[in-house]
Amino acid sequence: MRFTVAIDGPAAAGKGTIGRAVAREYGFAHLDTGLLYRAVGLAALEASDGVIDPVLAERIATELTEDDLARPDLRGSRAARAASKVAALPRVRAALLDFQRRFARREGGAVLDGRDIGTVICPEAEVKLFVTASEETRAARRHAELSAADPALTVGQVLADLRSRDARDSQRADAPLRRADDAVLLDTTELSIDAAVAEATALIRARIEQGRD
């Protein structure tokens, strides 16, 4: 069976958590597409003394493999900032397009979460979700993730970083962050993880059953 779930939304809205839970529930493969850009961004930074060279970033993106997504430092704030910068480069995005589309249509089903899955990568996905939450909620969540490694980090700093990333992601000319016209909105501001996952899995179950009729 080929069945694609596309999950989009801003940082720290909960799309990754929901994507992983949905993948476990249905036995689908899961791809956090943000890791692709984090891996490219970090590699480009390290290879060019802290300044991202667009040509080098494109080459790294072209040669990227699933093994490159296993780096333990891809979840850090440095990787997040680098990802947002390379994600604004059209040639990097184009280089990663086939990787994501092949993953999405693999046998057995796939869940992809990112910022342009339902609009660009998989516009024909069987299920599309747009997961969001208030800025304050997202900042608190991200701060909880990062503060153990960086005790000096404040919620205000995280909030400023999120706002900057949101602006870059939504205002870039190529594949900006936006909700697909046919994506179901899932606002997790007031939802527990369990409740958000339950809503997502119920929607997917209904679509699967429709496909069997």
DSSP string, 90-153: HHHHHHHHHHHHHHHT-TT-EEEEESSIIIII-TT-SEEEEEE--HHHHHHHHHHHHTTT-TT-
User: Position of tokens 């009729």?
Assistant: 213
14 is in an annotated binding site: yes
d(Cα 193, Cα 198) in Å, to the nearest integer? 8
With respect to residue 192, please indicate whether it lies within any of the assigned structural domains.
yes
- Give the rounded distance of the alpha carbon of 212 from its chain centre: 29
Return the DSSP state at 183.
P
Our measurement of the distance from residue 19's CA atom to the centroid of its chain's CA atoms, rounded to an integer in Å, reads 9
- 9 belongs to an annotated ligand binding site: yes
11 is in an annotated binding site: yes
13 marked as binding residue: yes
Q: Is the pLDDT score of 175 beyond 80?
A: yes
Determine if residue 200 is labeled as part of a ligand binding site: no
How large is the average pLDDT for residues 105-125? Answer: 96
Report helix, strand or coil for 46: helix
167 annotated ligand-binding residue: no
**Confidence band (pLDDT; 50, 70, 90) for 149?**
confident
Q: What is the CATH number of the domain that holds 53?
A: 3.40.50.300
How far apart (Å, rounded) are the C-alpha atoms in residues 154 and 156? 5
Whole-model pTM: value is 0.89
Q: Which domain covers residue 46, as residue numbers?
A: 4-208
* pLDDT score at 213: 62
Confidence of residue 167 (pLDDT cuts 50, 70, 90): very high
195 lies in some domain: yes
Helix or strand (DSSP H, E) at 32:
strand 29-32
48 assigned to some structural domain: yes
Consult the annotation and say whether 211 binds a ligand.
no
* Total domains in the fold of the chain: 1
